[in-house]
Structure 1
Amino acid sequence: MIKVSINESRAKKGLVVILKEKDIFRMFAKRICMDTIFYFTAPILITVFYKLSTGKPVELLYPYSIAVTIYCIWMFARYISYRNFYHSLYKMEKNCAYKGQFMKEDEIRINRAFNQVHKQYLQDIKKMEVEGEENRRFLSAWIHSMKTPITVQDLIIQRLNREELDEKTAIQDIMVENTKLLSSLDMVLAMIRLQEFAKDYKPEEFDLENEINQIINDNKRLFIYSSVFPKVVNECNDSESTKVLSDRKWNRHMLEQIISNAVKYSKEEGVVKNIVFRLAKEGKKSVLYVEDEGIGIEETDLARVFEPFFTGENGRNGRNSSGIGLYFCKEISEHIQCELSIESKISKGTIVKVVYLNYPSDVLNSL
């Protein structure tokens, strides 16, 4: 039975090869159909013309035998070339690294185009795999950050049930943890929208100083409860210097995250700290400096603060850092074409620098 199955398998493989050869010959026959018609039309017309013009009998066997022989040799050579090309394509389908036995210029170009398409295809797959892995890591870190406030709320409720906390204190503590949950949800929603940034991008001209004042006003409770107070300093000579072209919403997301980090790493029980928003001009670019008086960042961590999920020494010291915030800011800055950088010294504070591009009025009006 084993021998029979092996023979049957070989027979099937042979049948597949025969069918492929038949397909090649059928496609080749269709390809040369018009060539054949034109090739034999010429000698036939010459023969008819000679017969009608001279009236003499015409020898047909010898010249037509030569014509048919030359035609068969020519078509056989073409068929071999066509067959080799077809088999090379088949091997390319099975093995993408196969370079092919190509001789003609058009065949070489086809091989080169195939390899280029395949190379691009592999690059796209690799990019999708990297993005997928990054999304999985982000989702894992986000779920982990969501679990902490939920766990704390559960512990607060348990203490309330055991009458270890009064209702007012419990509600206040739950509201604090709920704020963390909302902030985390806003973060993940913004990250999802950032993946389709082109659909949600609307550049417009706005006054950066006014925008900063508005953001500070919207986050005044954060500053008050953390005993961290903001101060806006405009070092520009005229009001036009604080006007920038950017996406107002995404710029707001970025600045709010920078402010959140500055407050989180600045607040200290019983100590009043300041955050200075300094507007300056560097050539044709508007620059915003966000300077805090916080704990600072280790020099060894500065080079990696924009990497996803990197928490550094501060995160390991219990500052509830997810390692997502600054990565999120960096992604936004690249999308809205800002330059983002950080300087810091331990126990001295951190300076976040945001450089905006300025555009002439005629460019702004054309947008």
Structure 2
Amino acid sequence: MSLIQYLKDRHLFLLINFVLFIIICVIMNLANVGMGIILLIFCIWFIPLFSLISMEFIKFKKFYDELNSTAEGLDKKYLLFEIVKEPDFIEGRLIYDLLKQINKAMHEHVKKYRDMQNEYREYIETWIHEIKTPIASTRLIIENNQTEVTKNIDYEIKKIEDYIEQVLYYSRSNNVSKDYIIKEVSLVEVVKNAIKKNSRDFINKRISVDIEAVYGSVYSDAKWLEFILNQIIGNSIKYCKRNEDKVKIYSARNRDNIILTIEDNGIGITSKDINRVFEKGFTGENGRRFGKSTGIGLYLCRKLCKQLGLGLTLTSQTGEGTKVNIIFPLGNIKYR
């Protein structure tokens, strides 16, 4: 708040005082009152007036400047009135009390929807747990009745399980810190587990896999890392060209990090879509052409990598393939 702004806000009060003083001056002049008396009245009138205005300006400016500086230093600005001091003037106290009531109502409103979100997430996790029972029973029936039809059913059930797993990880993605355990993880083991999970698709589509150049260990959560790899490998399989298809996975150490790369020679991604592949729900030209994309997989991978403190980048050229890099900061890595 500047002095000019404050005086503009008080202009009516000042104008009334000046008009009244001029009227009194005219009356005193008609009554032949000397200029010395008029000047004395001016001093008695306006010196206390200007002193009061100056004191009020300093008091208001101090409060509002402190309010602004405190707000600028907060990441969560809605916590402002939890730490700001209550002002000692009536207008400030009225504003303070009103905003405190608004802040309290906002917290109650947010809590209501947070509780609803938590209840929904708990329901989803319970549903996922329950749905695994009939799926396990179906797999048991299939194992006892092996035919070409049941093999196809088993293949489709595997897809259902993948989508269920994606729902589970999506529901937990905002609270990943409560679910992961950081420990030393062998990149080779995690990659092999992800390859094994997709082995049937690799065999059916005759896609070769090269993991000879995967080395080292990282500190991360094996379960979440395996899920991220599974989503990326699934995309490589989904958008293969069916002509000498190949997925190559390898790791490399740089000065500041270790990078695990998943590279394929599939159809690639168009240049207009490349910058949007991590957006939630974005399917792009390939997703519309093949009709298999949900637009959730890569979005979820980016979100989980961020939660785990990992980097995730993607490069691609149409018709030549796609390369995805998972970047592990060197401070969190043991390389052997």
Q: Deviations over 1:224-249 (max 9, x none)?
A: 122111112538xxx6xx22111111
CA distance in 1 between counterparts of 2:104 and 2:303 reads 24
Structure 1 170/195 Cα, relative in aligned 2: closer, same or farther at 3 Å? same
State the Cα distance separating 1:250 from its structure 2 match: 0.6
Equivalent residue, structure 1, for 2:99:
115
Change (3 A) 1:351 1:360: closer
**CA displacement at 1:126 relative to structure 2:** 11
User: Which residue of structure 2 aligns with residue 24 of structure 1?
Assistant: none
Which of 263, 269, 274 is equivalent to 1:297? 269
* Larger of the two Rg values belongs to structure: 1
Matches within 5 A, 1:277-316: 277-316=249-288
2:240 — aligned with what? 266
Q: Report Cα offsets for 1:46-96 as digits up to 9, x if no partner.
A: xxxxxxxxxxxxxxxxxxxxxxxxxxxxxxxxxxxxxxxxxxxxxxxxxxx
Classify the secondary structure of the residue corresponding to 2:251: strand
- The answer to which of 242-251 and 346-355 deviates more is 242-251
For 1:91-145, what per-residue CA distance to the aligned partner results, in whole angstroms no more than 9, with x for missing partners? xxxxxxxxxxx9725983784486378469759849969x97xx99xx9xxxxxx
CA 1:281–1:181 in structure 2 vs 1: closer, same or farther (change >3 Å)? same
Deviations 1:201-235 (A, max 9, x none): 21112222332234323432232122111112538
Q: 1:103 to 1:343 in 2, by over 3 A?
A: closer
Partner of 1:250: 224
- The alpha-carbon deviation at position 252 of structure 1 amounts to 0.8
Q: Deviations over 1:280-300 (max 9, x none)?
A: 112121101110011111111
The question of 1:209 aligning with 2:181 is answered no
Shift of 1:173: 3.0
Percent identical pairs in the alignment equals 30
Q: 1:192 pairs with 159, 168, 171, which one? A: 171
* Deviation (angstroms), 1:302: 1.2
CA shift, 1:180, in A, is 1.6
Q: What is the TM-score with the length of structure 1 in the denominator?
A: 0.53
Q: 1:334 aligns with which of 297, 306, 317?
A: 306
Q: Which residue of 2 aligns with 1:82?
A: none
Taking the TM superposition and a 5 Å limit, the aligned residue runs for 1:1-367 are 104=88, 108=92, 111-112=95-96, 115=99, 118=102, 122=106, 125=110, 168-234=147-213, 242-266=216-240, 268=242, 271-359=243-331
Structure 1 contact 295–349 (Cα < 8 Å) conserved: yes
Structure 2 unaligned spans of 5+ = 1-85, 125-145
Aligned residues: 222
Q: CA deviation at 1:261?
A: 0.7
How far, CA to CA, are the matches of 1:217 and 1:246 in structure 2? 20
CA contact (8 A) 1:265 1:295 kept: yes
Deviation at 1:185, TM superposition (A): 1.1
Residue 73 (structure 2) aligns with: none
